[in-house]
Structure 1
Amino acid sequence: MNRNYCLPMMLSAFLSICLLSCKKDDNKLETQKPVVALPEKIDANRTLKSDTIYTFAVSVNVTNNAVLTIEPGTVIKSRSVAAGAGRSGYIAIERGSKIMAEGTAEKPIVFTSGTPSGFQQHGDWGGLYIFGKAPVSAYDENTGGAGTEMTLTGLGALLPSGGGNDPRDNSGVLRYVRIEFAGVGSAESYGLACVGVGSGTTIENVQTSYTQTSGFGFFGGTVNAKNLVAFNNRLAGFVYSNGYTGMQQFIVSYKHPYFAAPGPFISTCDALLVLNDTKGYPVAPDTRPVLSNVTAVGPYNNPGYNSALPWNAALNVSYSGAFVLRNSILMGMPKGGIKFSDDIAAQRLIDGTSEFSTNLVHSNISADAFTVDPGAVYSIDAAGVTDYAVNHHNKMYVKPEEIGLTNPFKFALPELLPTTGAAALTGADFSGEPFQGFFKKVTYVGAFGTENWMQNWTDFYPFTIKY
């Protein structure tokens, strides 16, 4: 894979002025910390402390029911790719083991590249993967039938498997965590992937940024999540697949105009991608995430936007997937606000398995705000999806500024709160099932009301941080 180390430097020069006034003091290395290399296998309880920098050269597997505890403010880095070494592998939490990564807004836990500041790239290491014992909808390629567990391939090493029969399985806690420069050139590579992770697990306030492929992947399982940020991911911001049925609220997917998927991936750069199986195998039960208060921002007309890159839709539903999406903002993507790329997935909308309601939608091409792939969908056309959308309290906007977010296309530091009087401040609907229990019943549509929960712990230009 060709790697252009000049690009971050060019971006640094371009953005330095606009970032100078808003970067935090903690971007400077205050003290020299000792560096400790992690082993390839952690098979007993271990705590990583904030007074130490941890590195890894290949992959790290937490196994044998071990608990990996990480203190607030701890930094875990891959090796330096710029120094001539190959990229580091993944960090995997195996079934039965746990990760207890509980940072704070002031002291987030960071998984990042060990390449020197200014030279980091998308895909300097493999990503963080959690495997649990909750059910997955899998396909057994050996038997041609249903499988009860699954893994992800394409990382140059064999990952563990996830899946089981315990929907309440607990794989630990991720809270106030940043994952940067992860993922490799494979469609099954992620910043954070959860495979068969159960609802006993806590995932809150997590950002994945500058990933070579997708930001978050949820494969089967029932884990719920809130306050997630996918920024500058070259493929999808979020992938939901293989029977995932969890609930998520306050979600941001943000596409950087400079970057989309590399050449082999065609029309795969979505904000949200829902499907039953990543390879299109017939699996059951259906994937059906329940999502509320999403803000998905595409590249729109930002400087540097290249229409030749494989940008796609804000919400792309394919390979028989189902979903529920309410109270959300979809804007700035060129090939649809919501798009059905598979006929069975479209039928899920028609028969009521899927729901799309109370959303504010914009597409770069207005006619594609509610659309289908005409070469793959036969049960309903774009006009039919538009009729459904209008009849389910969705609104279409010709211009993104009509939605009324403060400065959504300021990719150096997105300003996603609604302005005074914006339509997004009112109108949210949490009536009926399944919007009871987990969801916080707010009045606003999109990920933000009047409070910016991304403050302090996120970072949208980590090239300049000297960890």
Structure 2
Amino acid sequence: MKKNWKFATMALIAGVSLFATSCSSDEDPINNPGDGGEDTYVLDSDITENVTLETGKTYTLNGGVHVKSGATLTIQPGVTIVAQHDETVDYILIEQGAKIDAQGTAAQPIVMTSEKKEAGAWGGLHICGYAHTNNGSGKSEIGNAPYGGNNDADNSGTLKYIRLEYTGYAFDEEHEANGVSFYGVGNGTTVEHLQAYQGSDDGFEFFGGSVNVKYMVVTSCSDDSFDWTEGWNGKAQFLVAYQEGESSLGYACDCLMECDNNGTNNAATPVAHPTIANATLIGNGGDAQGVRLRAGTQVELYNTIITGKGKPLTVETNETENALKDGTSKLEYVAISGELSSKQGIYTNADFAQATGNLTNQEFSWTGKYVGTLDGGKDLSADSFFTKTDYKGAVKSGDDWTSGWTL
């Protein structure tokens, strides 16, 4: 069968016989690189059987690479993947039925970056699962891969300690790449300790699905830091969004969270209803929204700090505001730098201020960019996913879980 890897050095000649033969599902087709002397390899075609990227090696990504159903892409700690940024669009896409097993560590994170150190240089990571959406049969914005189904326990693999830099390649105004795009990804998938750094679209976007995420950092992505639509109903804890100043970045940033159910049909089911705890969301000024709840989304948002935007928290559409008013959605132990803005006038700042633990018109101070919390929080640990906390914010002083593996 056609192999997915080739040496970027003269080791290719020594390895021809290895690449020309088929391997079993647990055999690594990039073992024994020969005497080329440089552990640099090129990934430029689809993966149809199990492949492992090895610690200590750098891999050049050239074009769009799909991991096909039945195959697993394993990425060991410390691996660096560098998008080539030439005439092709570079991205990695995990198709339905395929898996990624990418487990870095705090000391050896997996780094996905680009030769060109600018926002929008490459197409990021895309994962397509069999979990629900409320948008019918969908295709990924990049790669045109199908996603969605009825298996909310679907498992697309494991992502741990990964830094994704300079993503956001734009095909056109409607088709841009996030740091990671989760398309109908199920809650059998493990996602924790990820950073999206200086991308030109969203940091992390959820298109339906039920995937749960923990310890997530978005730094200076020009569009939204976190974005959901199409009925995402997963859980999330310990989220950081930080936007540097426009003068230093050279570009503006949009929402810290942009939150939709379905933009075409606000009442589409299953309705988006994630449960989120312990977020620190810091904007870079301007009149844009911080957290924008709209298009029929529901949410349970707890233990969160929102600052740095002219409108730190806005609510829009009848469905979204009614869900807050009748208690289907909850905003509790949320501290904001200004006041809640209500477009429909159904759920108002007065309603928000009266809810348990909420604070308005607050000033915040930080150690470094975003380390610091406020006393008072909701304990969600009756659900085993959530770590017990009694504070607002994501990064507690003396326990900086972002240290060492993030930029």
Same fold, judged at TM 0.5 (above)? yes
CA contact (8 A) 2:203 2:221 kept: yes
Question: Aligned partners of 2:258, 2:305: CA distance in 1, in Å?
Answer: 15
Cα distance change of structure 1 residues 442 and 378 upon mapping to structure 2, 3 Å threshold: closer
Question: Aligned partners of 1:59, 1:435: CA distance in 2, in Å?
Answer: 42
Higher RCO (C-alpha under 8 Å, 6+ residues apart): 1
Question: Aligned partners of 1:126, 1:261: CA distance in 2, in Å?
Answer: 19
Residue 24 of structure 1 is matched in structure 2 by: none
1:260-299 matched pairs, under 5 angstroms = 269-278=254-263, 283-299=268-284
CA contact (8 A) 1:55 1:114 kept: no
Cα distance change of structure 1 residues 87 and 208 upon mapping to structure 2, 3 Å threshold: farther
Question: Aligned partners of 2:295, 2:250: CA distance in 1, in Å?
Answer: 22
Question: Aligned partners of 2:38, 2:275: CA distance in 1, in Å?
Answer: 43
Report deviation, 1:261: 6.9
Unaligned residue ranges in structure 1 (runs of 5+): 1-31, 139-146, 263-267, 301-306, 408-413, 419-423, 460-467
Residue 98 of structure 2 is matched in structure 1 by: 97
Residue 27 of structure 1 is matched in structure 2 by: none
Residue 138 of structure 2 is matched in structure 1 by: 150
SS in 2 for 1:441: coil
Between 281-290 and 193-202, the greater mean CA deviation after superposition? 281-290
CA contact (8 A) 1:213 1:261 kept: no
SS in 2 for 1:214: coil
1:2-401 matched pairs, under 5 angstroms = 33-80=38-85, 85-86=86-87, 88-115=89-116, 120-138=117-135, 147=136, 149-153=137-141, 155=142, 158-185=143-170, 186=173, 188-258=176-246, 259=249, 269-278=254-263, 283-300=268-285, 307=286, 312-334=288-310, 336-362=311-337, 366=338, 369-373=339-343, 377-380=344-347, 384-398=348-362, 400=363
SS in 2 for 1:387: helix
Question: Aligned partners of 1:102, 1:87: CA distance in 2, in Å?
Answer: 27
The equivalent position to 1:452 in structure 2, one of 384, 400, 407, is 400
How far does the alpha carbon of each residue in 1:25-61 deviate from its partner, in whole angstroms, 9 at most, with x for none? xxxxxxx843211132101100011232111221000
Residue 22 of structure 1 is matched in structure 2 by: none
**Amino acid paired to 2:341:** T
Q: How many residues are matched?
A: 365
Question: Aligned partners of 2:73, 2:323: CA distance in 1, in Å?
Answer: 40
Report deviation, 1:392: 2.7
Question: Aligned partners of 2:148, 2:164: CA distance in 1, in Å?
Answer: 24
CA contact (8 A) 1:297 1:332 kept: yes
CA contact (8 A) 1:357 1:389 kept: no
**Amino acid paired to 2:367:** T
Unaligned residue ranges in structure 2 (runs of 5+): 1-36
CA contact (8 A) 1:87 1:124 kept: no
**Amino acid paired to 1:316:** R
| CA-based RMSD | 2.1
CA contact (8 A) 2:291 2:312 kept: yes
Relative to total residues, which structure has the larger strand share, 1 or 2? 2
**Amino acid paired to 1:249:** Q
How far does the alpha carbon of each residue in 1:347-376 deviate from its partner, in whole angstroms, 9 at most, with x for none? 2211222110111111xxx3xx21123xxx
SS in 1 for 2:237: strand
Between 160-169 and 33-42, the greater mean CA deviation after superposition? 33-42
Question: Aligned partners of 1:33, 1:442: CA distance in 2, in Å?
Answer: 47
SS in 2 for 1:296: strand
SS in 2 for 1:345: helix
**Amino acid paired to 2:387:** K
How far does the alpha carbon of each residue in 1:294-352 deviate from its partner, in whole angstroms, 9 at most, with x for none? 0000114xxxxxx4xxx522210111111110011111112x22101323221221122
How far does the alpha carbon of each residue in 1:232-286 deviate from its partner, in whole angstroms, 9 at most, with x for none? 1111100111111110000001112215877xxxxx8110111012556652111
TM-score when normalising by structure 1: 0.74
CA contact (8 A) 1:240 1:289 kept: no
Residue 438 of structure 1 is matched in structure 2 by: 385
The equivalent position to 1:416 in structure 2, one of 351, 368, 371, is 371
Cα distance change of structure 1 residues 63 and 252 upon mapping to structure 2, 3 Å threshold: same
Question: Aligned partners of 1:226, 1:391: CA distance in 2, in Å?
Answer: 25
Cα distance change of structure 1 residues 283 and 90 upon mapping to structure 2, 3 Å threshold: farther
